[in-house]
Amino acid sequence: MSNWLVHGGAVLEGTVSVQGSKNAALPILAATLLVEEPVTLLNCPAIRDAENMLGILKSLGCSVKREADAVTVDSSTASGFVLPTALSGELRSSIFLLGSVLARFHEADAPYPGGCEIGNRPIDLHLWGLKRLNAQIEERGGRICCKGGNLSGAVVDLEYPSVGATENIMLAACRAAGETTICNAACEPEIVDLQQFLCACGFRVHGAGTPTVVIEGVERGHGTVFRVMPDRIVTGTYLAGAAVTGGDVTVTGTQPELIETLLGKLSECGCAVTRNADSVRVRAPKRLRGVGFTGTRPYPGFPTDLQPQLFAALSTAEGTSVIAENVFESRFRHAQELRKMGAKNRILDRTAIITGVKKLHGAFVTAHDLRGGAALVLAGLAAEGDTTIQHTERIERGYERMDSVIGALGGTVIRKENGIDEEEKTR
Ligand code: EPZ
């Protein structure tokens, strides 16, 4: 377990470039199994989830190489279809391998996926979609056993625009016989990036980014070199950092149009937002204004993955703000941790009522999940005194060297492994 010590009283200022997208890289890594030639991904984030996904690919027989942010996966040597329990249990995205392993080996055997505890997170839509493509699926002994010798195209009308189910069905359909149409598909930008990767490998996919995605199955794909899109959630996190600390932050190498909902909220809070083609700047006032109501929704609605960061910002804003979490059942665990720091909020089922206080104070808090943990880092930077955050390995699942990025913006985050300063260890 790792802890971080966050020095309070910081005002984040400066310019940072953003890492590659976790939620694009993970399904793309799963898709490399569809291609029996080397694939190189540029801008592949060096985060725990990506390393775990690479570990699973290795266990299936792929050769994997990383040089800085370039990762090469050669799955021509892969032969396994049984996913390792421990590694797969570390991340939600291991479930994407069901679609690609099935398409490649006509058989797949996987444990239930892990990932952030932010709700029930069933996989019924994934399994239902794969069955529509003629996969036989049995759930026994805590594992999902699939046979798919004759995957064939179909119309898959999703009950809910699930990101993961849309991506899993896209992967399985790429090498199925005939055409698949996914209706009520999720429209997240990461799905568009997955489509662009699949097309770069010679697969036939179109419509991503709209509720209707069409995949025409082909027998095989080919290798490629592909650049993963920038991470819009990480972009939003550092911009929220400017808002929480009354600072001035510019994020470069990003796509501002993909987080317009957050930028709109920060403007409502009184921040000056400057958008350019591939960078965005947020200058915050001394104290934010509260914003009436925010409800999380599938894209292009307000992203649930930026809800905790906005929650932290509104905790010291003037007035009362309300947030409804409409995507996940229990994604307010950061609220109790912020209350340990002096925040005032009430959680009524899936609605939070936040009454802004002038100042937070340092405390000993827990990162219960990835984005909630990131929000606590931002709150700790703005607070009076120091904050210790435990279980920060959960933050490292999605943020590349957050301590160094915060350091570049004038804040201080000290990593402690088993209570010992990382720096001290290296001395
Ligand atoms: C993806 O998760 C992201 N993860 C999540 O980001 C993100 O919060 C989520 O989409 C929504 O935007 C990755 O891309 C790796 P869903 P996913 O399937 O695929 C219900 C982060 O912080 N549902 O769209 O799991 C489900 O329970 C993470 O980076 C079913 O009921 O999201 C949830 O309430 C956290 N049955 C809702 O749909 C299913 O079979 C949305 O889930 C599938 C989902």
Convert the pLDDT of each residue in 364-380 to its tens digit: 999 999 999 999 999 99
Can you give the pLDDT at residue 115? Answer: 79
198 lines ligand 1 (CB under 6 A): no
Q: How far apart are CA 219 and CA 103, in angstroms?
A: 10
Q: Which of 126, 169, 190, 327 to mutate to test the pocket of ligand 1 (most atoms within 8 A of CB)?
A: 327
371 lines ligand 1 (CB under 6 A): yes
Can you give the pLDDT at residue 420? Answer: 56
Q: Ligand 1 center to residue 162 CA distance, Å?
A: 6
Can you tell me which atom of ligand 1 is nearest the CA of 93? 15
Average pLDDT value for residue range 18-45: 98
What are 63's two structure tokens?
Answer: 């050769």
Percent with pLDDT over 90 in the chain:
94
Q: What is the pTM of this model?
A: 0.97
> 3-state DSSP call for residue 259?
helix
Q: Ligand 1 center to residue 121 CA distance, Å?
A: 7
Can you give the pLDDT at residue 250? Answer: 98
Query: Is residue 343 pLDDT above 80, yes or no?
Result: yes
Reported as a single tens digit per residue, the pLDDT across 98-127 is 999 999 999 999 999 987 889 889 999 999
In this structure, which amino acid lies at residue 348? L
Query: Is residue 421 pLDDT above 70, yes or no?
Result: no
Q: Which of 52, 112, 121 to mutate to test the pocket of ligand 1 (most atoms within 8 A of CB)?
A: 121
Q: How far apart are CA 168 and CA 161, in angstroms?
A: 12
Nearest-5° Cα angle at 320, 317 to 321 = 85
Reported as a single tens digit per residue, the pLDDT across 211-232 is 999 999 999 999 999 999 999 9
Average pLDDT value for residue range 137-150: 93
Can you give the pLDDT at residue 371? Answer: 98
Largest CA distance in the chain: 62
User: Could you tell me if 124 and 79 are in contact, meaning their C-beta atoms sit under 8 angstroms apart?
Assistant: no
Percent with pLDDT over 70 in the chain:
97
Can you tell me which atom of ligand 1 is nearest the CA of 161? 24
Query: Is residue 1 pLDDT above 90, yes or no?
Result: no
Q: Ligand 1 center to residue 164 CA distance, Å?
A: 6
Mean pLDDT, all residues of the chain: 96
Nearest CA to ligand 1 atom 14: 23
Nearest CA to ligand 1 atom 19: 164
162 lines ligand 1 (CB under 6 A): yes
Average pLDDT value for residue range 280-292: 97
**Which sequence positions are flagged as catalytic?**
116
Can you give the pLDDT at residue 117? Answer: 84
Query: Is residue 85 pLDDT above 50, yes or no?
Result: yes
Query: Is residue 52 pLDDT above 60, yes or no?
Result: yes
First to last CA, the chain: 21
Average pLDDT value for residue range 183-193: 98
Query: Is residue 426 pLDDT above 50, yes or no?
Result: no
Q: Ligand 1 center to residue 419 CA distance, Å?
A: 33
**Would you place residue 419 in the very low, low, confident or very high pLDDT band (cuts 50, 70, 90)?**
low
Can you tell me which atom of ligand 1 is nearest the CA of 128? 40
395 lines ligand 1 (CB under 6 A): no
Can you tell me which atom of ligand 1 is nearest the CA of 369? 22
3-state SS, 146-193, equals EECCCCECCEEECCCCCHHHHHHHHHHHCCCECEEEEECCCCCHHHHH
